Amino acid sequence: MKNILTLALLFCSAIWLTGQEMKPEETEVWSPEPAIVTPGMNGAPPSDAIVLFDGTSLDNWQHADGSAAKWKLEDGAMVAQKGAGDVFTREKFTSCQLHIEWRTPSKVEGEGQGRGNSGIFLQGIYELQVLDSYDNRTYSNGQAGSIYKQTMPLVNASKGPGEWQVYDIIYHAPTFNSGHEYETHPYITVFHNGVLIQDHTKIQGTTPYIGPPKVNQHGSGPLRLQDHNNPTAFRNIWIRRL
């Protein structure tokens, strides 16, 4: 007991002496300074964001073959058209902060995966599910806010059909080793309508409908929105590179 007290006193004395010997400015960092960013209000993009869709044009989007996006512009939203195919940003990204607002149809048709289904694919590969999950049971790792067929959301924060909803996403892109395997996995954090639903979640690989995730080496990629035969709408889409 005596030895323990002696060691504790010596440790406290060392901390006190270190504090006495150092000056406050020795632990101050003055350079470099963080860049100044003007924040947006009520979901509007901050000053350093890339606006991918502002409600007026689909010029930043295309189909997989490079042709012009054939989704419908309607009341400041881009609306998926059955059979038109997925749309992709012309620009490619890696790690990012993404803000996107979406709305499932107010007229409820179908059930489970058939209601307001779409998806947001980071780097064109990893799907964050979009679905009408308000009073609509389906498999938990396929409901709104899930990393599709991998990780269910922490909670169901869905609004009702026809209401605008928001995803705020922090995404960290993967890196690969010489063997074409992950050196660092992709990770994602998601707020759904202001509620944390994915908390620095590790993405295991691709997000296929059938079968387990796969690891396919890739570089930067587009943001991709899915046409799943439902007229799901999107608006106010902006992104910040990290």
119: three-class secondary structure by DSSP: strand
pTM: 0.90
Instruction: Tell me how far apart the alpha carbons of residues 62 and 57 are, in angstroms, rounded to a whole number.
Output: 12
C-beta separation of 123 from 173 below 8 A: yes
Instruction: Tell me how far apart the alpha carbons of residues 99 and 220 are, in angstroms, rounded to a whole number.
Output: 19
Per-domain residue ranges for the chain?
Answer: 33-241
Instruction: Tell me how far apart the alpha carbons of residues 44 and 228 are, in angstroms, rounded to a whole number.
Output: 28
CA 78 to chain centroid: 19
Q: Which helix (H) or strand (E) holds 16?
A: helix 2-21
3-state DSSP: the chain helix, strand, coil percent, rounded to 5? 10, 30, 55
Amino acid 184: pLDDT = 98
73 φ, ψ to 5°?
-90, 125
Q: What is the pLDDT of residues 20-52, one digit of tens each?
A: 688 999 999 999 999 999 999 988 999 999 999
Q: Does residue 17 carry a pLDDT above 50?
A: no
CATH number of 33-241: 2.60.120.560
Q: What is the pLDDT of residues 189-228, one digit of tens each?
A: 999 999 999 999 999 999 999 999 999 999 999 999 999 9
Amino acid 15: pLDDT = 52
Closest to 97 measured CA to CA, from 40, 43, 171? 171
Amino acid making up residue 16: W
Neighbours of 47 (CB within 10 A): 10
Closest to 118 measured CA to CA, from 222, 35, 231? 231
Q: What is the pLDDT of residues 127-156, one digit of tens each?
A: 999 999 999 999 999 999 999 999 999 999
Structure token pair of residue 163: 């209401």
3 φ, ψ to 5°?
-65, -40
